[in-house]
Structure 1
Amino acid sequence: MALQDSEVTHLIKTTEEIKGKMVQNMTKLEERQTNLEKLDDKAKALKETGDEFKKGATKVHEKKKWEHYKLWMILISIIAIIIIVIIVVATLIALFVTKPWEKKH
C-alpha cells in the first residue's frame, strides 16, 4: 500500500506541476494575444497614416506638375514674343533700308 500511496502522491505532484505549466502557458498565451492586438492596432494606424501621406504626396505632386507646366508655358510665350519682336524689327529695318515708297528713277 505504501507503494501505491507513493505512486498516487507522485502522480498528484506531477499533475500539479503540469497544471502549473499549463496555467503559465495560458498566461503567456493571453499576453501574446494582447501584444498581437496592440501590434495590429499599430499596423492599422500606420496604414492610415501611410494612406494620408500618399494622398498628400499626390496632391503636392499634382500641384508641382501644374506649376512646372505653367512655367514652361510662360517661358515658351516669352520666347515666342521675342521671336515676333525680332521678325518685326528685321522687317522694319528691311523696309527702311530698301525704302520701297520712294520711286526709283
Structure 2
Amino acid sequence: MNNQYNYQADDRIRQQQAKVQEVVGIMKDNVNLVLERETRLAEIDTRADELQVQSKQFQAVAGRVRRKYFWQNMKMWFIIGGLAVIILVVIIVWSVSNKHN
C-alpha cells in the first residue's frame, strides 16, 4: 500500500512538474514576444522620427516652390499688364492722331 501511495505521489509530482514546465515555456514565449514588440516599437519610433524630419523638409521645399511660382506668376501678370498698357497707349495715340487728320 505504501508503494501504491508513493507511485500516486510521484505521478502527481510529475504532473505538477509538467504543468510548471508548461507555464515556464509559456512565460518564456511571452517574454520573447514582449522583447520582439519592444524592438518593433523602437523601429516604428525611429521611422516616425524620420517621417517627421522628412515632413519638415517637404514643407520647406514646398514653401520655396510656392514662392518661386508665385513670383513667376506675378512676373507674367506684370508683363501682360505692361503689354496691355502699351497697346492701350498705341490705340489712344493712333485714335488721337486720326482725329487731328
Relative to the length of structure 2, the TM-score reads: 0.86
> Which position in structure 2 is the counterpart of 1:30?
35
* CA distance in structure 2 between the aligned counterparts of 1:90 and 1:39, rounded to whole angstroms: 74
> Which position in structure 1 is the counterpart of 2:51?
46
> Which position in structure 1 is the counterpart of 2:74?
69
Stretches (4+) displaced over 2 A: none
Cα deviation, 1:5-53, whole Å, max 9, x if unaligned, reads 2111211121011101111110121011101110111121012112211
How many residue pairs are counted as aligned between the two chains? Answer: 96
* CA distance in structure 1 between the aligned counterparts of 2:91 and 2:15, rounded to whole angstroms: 110
Note the aligned Cα RMSD (angstroms).
1.2
> Which position in structure 2 is the counterpart of 1:90?
95
How do 1:6-25 and structure 2 match up within 5 A?
Answer: 6-25=11-30
Cα deviation, 1:65-85, whole Å, max 9, x if unaligned, reads 111011101101111111111
Relative to the length of structure 1, the TM-score reads: 0.83
> Which position in structure 1 is the counterpart of 2:3?
none
Larger-Rg structure = 1
* Partner secondary structure for residue 81 of structure 1: helix
Q: Relative to total residues, which structure has the larger helix share, 1 or 2?
A: 2
Structure 2: which 5+ runs fail to align?
1-5
